[in-house]
Amino acid sequence: KILSKGTACKRLYEKFKPDISICAGDSSFDIPMLEYADIAIYPSELAGKIHSDKRKIINDNSCNFAEFICANVRNICGEL
């Protein structure tokens, strides 16, 4: 099997069966994980590289990426 963050995300999803998966990443190593996630959070530099029809939240680099992740996860939790 190919080892990647996407494979790890899939295995965790299959084991724990969450209602939704939210993943955040900022490098090309994160692309498989972001494509697998129900909701993917990433910076604009990766925007053209993520091929998924699922929900995407893209940071326009107007704030720190870690703060952007926290704010959006809080918003998502408020929607659920």
Model confidence over 14-54: pLDDT tens digits? 999 999 999 999 999 999 999 999 999 999 999 999 999 99
Please, which pLDDT band fits residue 2 given cuts at 50, 70 and 90?
confident
Domain count across the chain: 1
C-alpha 66/C-alpha 70 separation (Å) is: 6
Please, which pLDDT band fits residue 1 given cuts at 50, 70 and 90?
low
- Residue 69's domain comprises 5-79
pLDDT at 20: 93
